[in-house]
Amino acid sequence: MQKDKSRFASLTLLKQNEHNYPQSPEEASLETFKNLYADRDYIITFDCPEYTSLCPVTGQPDFGHIVLRYIPDQLCVESKSLKLYLFSFRNTNTFHEESVNTILDAVVKACKPRAAEVVGEFRPRGGIAIHVTARYGEKIDG
């Protein structure tokens, strides 16, 4: 198997040292690279414990922990682009249920995985914590 560096040509965010943070998920982009092991199933997990967004009613900050797990097909999500994508929610007024499903939709659109799951565990507000799970494809075990 040849590991041709040209497969990284489309990765623009990883090459940048400057911090041009997107202001919304619509402005952000998830970049991908070729999966060299597309002939097998394996699970990729991104653990993002510092997720923030804004309450759509009060504008107060909401804090959460996002875990993305997926089985890639032909493409994998590049981690810095995911970090910047999630960072873009800091200025976004959204309900927890909406943000989890928006993240899942973006991942599916970007890399067309065999299966994907986004779990959001949000800190209590008003005494209630919210946990949201959204799935694409089969449930991921392991």
Active site residues: 55, 62
Q: How many Å apart are CA 82 and CA 62, to the nearest integer?
A: 19
What are 12's two structure tokens?
């623009």
Question: For residues 109 and 39, is the Cβ–Cβ distance under 8 A?
Answer: no
Tokens of 106: 């973006």
The number of helix segments (H) and strand segments (E) in the chain equals 2, 6
Show the tokens assigned to 50: 């510092």
